[in-house]
Amino acid sequence: MKPAQLTYCRPNSVGEAVTELVEGGWNAKLIAGGQSLMPMMNLRLVSADRLIDIRKIDALRIRNDEGAQVRIGACITHDEIQRGEIPDPSNGLMPYIASRIAYQAVRNRGTFGGSLSLADPAADWLTTTAALGATIEWEGVGGKSSCLAEDFVLAPYTTRLEPSDLLTSVIIPRLPGSAKWGAYKLCRKTGEYAHAMAMVIRDGARSRVFLGATDGAPIRLPAVETALKDMTLWSAPAAKTIAATCRADIAASGRDLSDVRIWQLCTCLERAIKMTFGLQEPMFGETSWK
């Protein structure tokens, strides 16, 4: 099948794109990489009266190294991050994540901002930007706005963006050189969305720990972060403590997750933490589970 009849436009600025969104109303759709939108339109799962192509807007292609942080435009592709064409504030975490998103054909066209805007709970960038303490910026008829990445998602496929808002850039704070990270996800096969995901960033006594591929926004684990504060070695007792603490944090989050999903998330967390201690081989996106 092919998309239904629609109007196609290609604005030259963020302001023009916002105007097109306002004029198009609820049936206006933005396209950048199109790796999610076009298949859904071809299957008639999504319809659009007006398709607004934002790929050529220069303001959405920025890659500014601002010293303590890096500002990345929404239309930067996964592949550009993977190949190191973007200044890396993450000690290698972002290129690593990008290189394991779907398949190379998807990474060539799929965009950083598009993935965040879609807000699929299993998408890699939602959890990564939350763990990195990133700030997401957007622009609409009300002007410019921003929020922390961990506060951006309200529900599955639902963000703080209004219908006439356009995500413009993401600000990533630069990690200290001493910071260690671990990232792990469970997939039935390479290239598909994750069934469970964990992201850990440790820098001395400070940690940021998030679970992804849940039923909504990434889940932060404050009790696990506290438990990691004085942990200098990984051991069997440490693994038991982390597993119990992870379950307690999930329960405190109020998410209604099955026992199987909780087990998957705790397994991902343990392996991500072990990566920060240099004990777990990185197999992000390549692991099978039974």
CATH number at residue 157: 3.30.465.10
Q: pLDDT (tens digit, 9 = 90+) per residue, 78-131?
A: 999 999 999 999 999 999 999 999 989 999 999 999 999 999 999 999 999 999
Q: Is 166 a domain residue?
A: yes
pLDDT averaged over every residue in the chain: 90
Q: Do 235 and 261 lie in a common domain?
A: yes
The size of the chain, in residues, is: 290
Task: Name the domain boundary from 173, 193, 227.
Answer: 173
Q: Do 169 and 64 lie in a common domain?
A: yes
Q: Is 285 a domain residue?
A: no
- The residues, ordered by sequence, that sit 6+ positions from 66 with a Cβ below 8 Å of its Cβ are none
Region of 117 please: left (phi>0), alpha (psi -120 to 50) or beta: alpha
Q: Do 137 and 94 lie in a common domain?
A: yes
Residue bearing the bigger pLDDT, 64 or 287: 64
Q: Is 138 a domain residue?
A: yes
Q: Do 162 and 185 lie in a common domain?
A: no
Q: Do 49 and 73 lie in a common domain?
A: no
Q: Do 149 and 164 lie in a common domain?
A: yes
Q: Do 148 and 228 lie in a common domain?
A: no
Q: Is 22 a domain residue?
A: yes
Q: pLDDT (tens digit, 9 = 90+) per residue, 209-247?
A: 999 999 899 999 999 999 999 898 888 999 999 999 999
Q: Do 99 and 167 lie in a common domain?
A: yes
Residue 80: which domain range?
58-173
Q: Is 287 a domain residue?
A: no
Q: Is 151 a domain residue?
A: yes
Q: Do 267 and 190 lie in a common domain?
A: yes
Token pair, residue 159, equals: 């963000």
Q: For residue 38, how far is the Cα from the chain centroid?
A: 20
Token pair, residue 153, equals: 């998602």
Task: Name the domain boundary from 153, 173, 193.
Answer: 173
Q: Do 187 and 231 lie in a common domain?
A: yes
Task: Name the domain boundary from 53, 70, 88.
Answer: 53
Q: Do 113 and 141 lie in a common domain?
A: yes
In the prediction, which pLDDT does 51 show? 86
Q: Is 194 a domain residue?
A: yes
CATH number of the structural domain spanning residue 234: 3.30.390.50
CATH number of the structural domain spanning residue 41: 3.30.43.10
Average pLDDT for residues 155-167, to the nearest whole number? 94
Q: Do 112 and 143 lie in a common domain?
A: yes
Domains contained in the chain, number? 3
Calpha distance 274→281 (Å, rounded) = 9
